[in-house]
Structure 1
Amino acid sequence: MQSGEVSAQEPADDVRIPRAQIGSSPQHLLTTLLGEYLDSSDADLPSTAVIAILREFGVSESSARAALSRLVKRGLIATRGNGRPPVYHLTAQAIAKHRSRMQYFLNFGAHPPEWTGEWVMASFSIPSSGHTSRHAVRRSLSALKFVGLYDSVWIRPGSDAAPVRETLGELLRQVEGARWSVMHVRFDEESGPHGPASAYDLTVLASAYSAFVEQYAELRVAARAGEVDAASALVARTSAMDSWRKFPDIDPDLPHHLLPTPWPRQQARDTFLEIHSTLGALAQSRLIQVAAPYWPDAASWITHFQASDDPARPEPTGGKRARPPVAD
């Protein structure tokens, strides 16, 4: 598979990606690294190599082992054989999930959404005794990138109502007295104080994008000048991805006419992609260097992803798709 060529196929539901959080936990960090640099369920990944890789980020051995254990429970990785030290491999479901999420992260913001003026609206009524269900509904709607227009009226741009219809049915079908409706609507005044744009705190989002640009400005300049060494590149590139990956999940991707001017998302995306692209080969090289003493086949399996529309995307190195033959 070539760098950046990732499938949009929806992955299996039984693989649970850890939630993104401020300051990566070892579990979340390891998930990021696996998604970025490993693209085959055939690769044998020794635990000792994982421990060495996470050590680059200041993660202790005990924390690294705990992260491995948690990713096994989540179905992202599985053990291969019964040897000691343990050997892991990515599951086929995890590969599908990683490819889908990498495409989502790397391609977000590349093209403006096709806008038809249509919104999906979800409205619900839950008896006062259904306090827990009400919180569950709100959490689920937020995860689907809905926002509360009013207390029990939630909206999101676009026309795909199937996910929210299914979610509300699952959460409220057994709640006595609960009612809900899902509608396709258009607003007479989209950008006014009573329209859908008023439901979004775009000022906070714009500030987050601007902060990202400021945070990584010096790294972008250094990367462009070739002043970042391989060891620094691995940590810096991973940090940039961890910082960027929150935006596709919190940015509602509103049409241009509903956004304030100037809107800093494109500058943030350009900053991220330049760092991600320029440091990719260096980070891959460092990862191989760190893992190779514990994983002799590391160079055959470790690769790196880049956005498919990036003109600087290099030809792939590493990341072969079949298991190497076992020596006699």
Structure 2
Amino acid sequence: MRHPEEVYAEESVDTVRLPRAQAGSSPQHLLVTLLGEYLDSSDADLPSTAVIAMLREFGISESSARAALSRLVKRGLIARRGDARPPVYHLTPQAIAKHRARMQHFLNFGARPPQWTGAWVLVSFSIPSSGQALRHAVRRSLNALRFAGLYDSVWIRPGSDAAVVRQALDELLQHVEDARWSVMHVRFDEESGPHGPASAYDLATLAAGYSRFVKRYADLREAARNGKVDPVAALVARTSAMDSWRKFADSDPDLPQHLLPQPWPRQQARDTFLDIHTALGALAQARLVEVVTPYWPDAVSWVTHFRASSDPARPEPVRATSTGPPSQAGPDRSSH
């Protein structure tokens, strides 16, 4: 497999180094990303050989691809259909629903400012000194729910929805002797002051991450807008951009504007991501169809791609009808 940089250099007057797929992504995670981006039906029969070919584009070995398939079966995201050899899989309806929700979250994140009421959910807990491992488990759970530590055992999150954190704390602590916790709805007298809720967040590091994203993908964005990325490069580069952006969508607390340092670079990063994701969508889809069709003749009927529907000025993607450029007819899906 050629790296996208090599493919692009053949077609460009100026040499531009396109980002490779994000380092550190496991084959399992990469497969979930690809299935979420390009497959949207539990009726599609997906041969294991097609999955192996798909992951080969990213330098993943056959053994690692098979291991990723096995793990997704155990997680209930895909299921085997019948006893065919080589094996044939399909996405479960639960996986389809999860993929759609995640794609909507990634693509719509940052589209509009949060509706701010001044409400925060605050969690305070006390665990016996002997419960260090449990204390770490509680903190991990709160982090996963996008809470931030205001003080050692005081955690906050913007908004008013406390149901999920109540359930998490009940499951972790209800049988722990001498453990105590409280979940409260609060408002801060000085939201933007040095002792207010913004101090719980490392906003400087988050802003630097957005700025790095813009710089890292600037050349790819320009190349994509000018039609100078071919399908081989598009599939890998578009996946890299999504893999990088989703980390922001999962970690940015989405604070109201008055709590953010100015200028705040998220919009520039989002525009960069959406330009790449939209411009390369049909090309990446066509490349994926080309890669898997020798193992999955019906691929053209099932492979598709997402776009951000919150940006109506962006062109609608369409299904590919061959291994060349996508046609201008046929339905597609978008996030809503």
Query: TM-score with structure 2 length normalisation?
Result: 0.87
Would the aligned equivalents of 2:148 and 2:155 in 1 still touch at CA under 8 Å?
yes
Would the aligned equivalents of 1:130 and 1:175 in 2 still touch at CA under 8 Å?
no
Would the aligned equivalents of 1:230 and 1:283 in 2 still touch at CA under 8 Å?
yes
1:115 aligns with 2:106: no
1:144 and 1:93 map into 2 onto residues whose CA distance is: 21
1:1-328 paired onto structure 2 within 5 Å? 23-310=24-311, 311-317=313-319
Q: Could you give the per-residue CA deviations for residues 196-221 of structure 1, whole angstroms, max 9, x where no partner exists?
A: 11111100000000000001000000
1:44 and 1:277 map into 2 onto residues whose CA distance is: 27
Would the aligned equivalents of 1:126 and 1:134 in 2 still touch at CA under 8 Å?
yes
1:183 and 1:316 map into 2 onto residues whose CA distance is: 47
Would the aligned equivalents of 1:39 and 1:303 in 2 still touch at CA under 8 Å?
yes
Would the aligned equivalents of 1:288 and 1:302 in 2 still touch at CA under 8 Å?
yes
1:287 and 1:62 map into 2 onto residues whose CA distance is: 20
> 1:105 is aligned with what amino acid?
F
Would the aligned equivalents of 1:300 and 1:320 in 2 still touch at CA under 8 Å?
no
Give the CA deviation at 1:124.
0.5
2:166 and 2:47 map into 1 onto residues whose CA distance is: 43
Would the aligned equivalents of 1:40 and 1:320 in 2 still touch at CA under 8 Å?
no
Give the CA deviation at 1:315.
4.9
Flag structure 1 segments of 5+ consecutive residues without an equivalent: 1-20, 322-328
Give the CA deviation at 1:316.
3.6
Secondary structure, counterpart of 2:198 in structure 1: helix
Give the CA deviation at 1:132.
1.8
Give the CA deviation at 1:166.
1.1
Would the aligned equivalents of 2:78 and 2:90 in 1 still touch at CA under 8 Å?
yes
Aligned length: 301
1:50 and 1:188 map into 2 onto residues whose CA distance is: 54
Would the aligned equivalents of 2:282 and 2:317 in 1 still touch at CA under 8 Å?
no
Would the aligned equivalents of 2:307 and 2:317 in 1 still touch at CA under 8 Å?
no
> 2:153 is aligned with what amino acid?
S
Of the structure 1 ranges 215-224 and 311-320, higher mean CA displacement relative to structure 2 is found in: 311-320
Give the CA deviation at 1:284.
0.3
1:47 and 1:235 map into 2 onto residues whose CA distance is: 20
Q: Could you give the per-residue CA deviations for residues 248-289 of structure 1, whole angstroms, max 9, x where no partner exists?
A: 111000000000001000000000000000000000000000
Would the aligned equivalents of 2:125 and 2:154 in 1 still touch at CA under 8 Å?
yes
Give the CA deviation at 1:313.
3.8
Q: Could you give the per-residue CA deviations for residues 65-122 of structure 1, whole angstroms, max 9, x where no partner exists?
A: 1111111111111110111100010011100100000000000000100111111100
1:71 and 1:127 map into 2 onto residues whose CA distance is: 38
RMSD: 1.4
Would the aligned equivalents of 1:109 and 1:266 in 2 still touch at CA under 8 Å?
yes
Q: Which residue of 2 aligns with 1:3?
A: none
2:152 and 2:266 map into 1 onto residues whose CA distance is: 29
Between 1 and 2, higher relative CO (CA 8 Å, sep ≥ 6) is seen in: 1
Would the aligned equivalents of 1:307 and 1:313 in 2 still touch at CA under 8 Å?
no
Flag structure 2 segments of 5+ consecutive residues without an equivalent: 1-21, 321-329
Would the aligned equivalents of 1:47 and 1:85 in 2 still touch at CA under 8 Å?
yes
Give the CA deviation at 1:22.
5.5
Secondary structure, counterpart of 1:245 in structure 2: helix
Secondary structure, counterpart of 1:155 in structure 2: strand
1:162 and 1:81 map into 2 onto residues whose CA distance is: 40
Give the CA deviation at 1:131.
1.6
> 1:96 is aligned with what amino acid?
A
Would the aligned equivalents of 1:190 and 1:258 in 2 still touch at CA under 8 Å?
yes
Secondary structure, counterpart of 1:252 in structure 2: coil
1:145 and 1:313 map into 2 onto residues whose CA distance is: 33
Q: Which residue of 2 aligns with 1:18?
A: none
1:264 and 1:23 map into 2 onto residues whose CA distance is: 25
> 1:204 is aligned with what amino acid?
T
1:75 and 1:129 map into 2 onto residues whose CA distance is: 36
Would the aligned equivalents of 1:301 and 1:320 in 2 still touch at CA under 8 Å?
no
Q: Which residue of 2 aligns with 1:326?
A: none
2:318 and 2:235 map into 1 onto residues whose CA distance is: 17
Give the CA deviation at 1:320.
8.1
1:38 and 1:313 map into 2 onto residues whose CA distance is: 20
Q: Which residue of 2 aligns with 1:15?
A: none
Residues 22 and 123 (structure 1 numbering): CA distance in 2 closer, same or farther, change over 3 Å?
farther
> 2:267 is aligned with what amino acid?
Q
Would the aligned equivalents of 1:80 and 1:89 in 2 still touch at CA under 8 Å?
yes
Would the aligned equivalents of 1:165 and 1:182 in 2 still touch at CA under 8 Å?
yes
Secondary structure, counterpart of 2:150 in structure 1: strand
